[in-house]
């Protein structure tokens, strides 16, 4: 199940720390409809404002410390002018096919789709 454009997120994210500089961390947790929390963090590897950023996206324990049992993805966002607006391109790379399958089995596509569907609403607000 996922959010549709304009609907509230099914697993809203709460950002705890936000240091969007190279070497900084963005820590967060998502909350399920049942109240369960799933923690994660970004380790910022590069910022090229306003053109893009890259980071390692990792899972965390409840206390927001890294969870080495889970795969880490390398993520790159780029922002380019397009038809009077902005095109965002997002690429996420996992260390192996098995690591990718692990997050796919956890619902990563649905979660990412729900998050991406919220962007227009944030920009318009």
pLDDT tens across the length of the chain (125 residues): 344 445 556 788 889 999 999 999 999 998 888 999 999 999 999 999 999 999 999 999 999 999 999 999 999 999 999 999 889 899 999 999 999 999 999 988 887 777 777 777 666 66
- Give dist(CA 53, CA 117) in Å, integer: 20
Residue 41 neighbours by CB distance under 10 Å: 22
CATH class of the domain comprising 13-124: alpha beta
Domain ranges of the chain: 13-124
Q: Are 26 and 53 in contact (CB under 8 A)?
A: no
Sign of CA dihedral 120, 57, 54, 93: negative
């Amino acid at each position: 199940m996922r959010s549709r454009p304009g609907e509230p997120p099914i697993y809203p994210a709460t950002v705890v720390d936000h240091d969007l500089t190279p070497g900084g961390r963005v820590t967060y947790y998502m909350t399920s409809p049942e109240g369960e929390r799933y923690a994660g963090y970004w380790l910022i590897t590069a910022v090229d404002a306003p053109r893009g950023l890259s980071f390692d996206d990792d899972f965390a324990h409840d206390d927001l410390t890294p969870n080495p049992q889970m795969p880490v993805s390398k993520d790159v966002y780029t922002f380019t002018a397009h038809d009077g607006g902005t095109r965002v391109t997002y690429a996420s790379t996992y260390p192996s096919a098995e690591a990718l399958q692990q997050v796919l089995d956890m619902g990563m596509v649905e979660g990412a789709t729900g998050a991406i569907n919220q962007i227009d609403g944030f920009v318009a607000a």
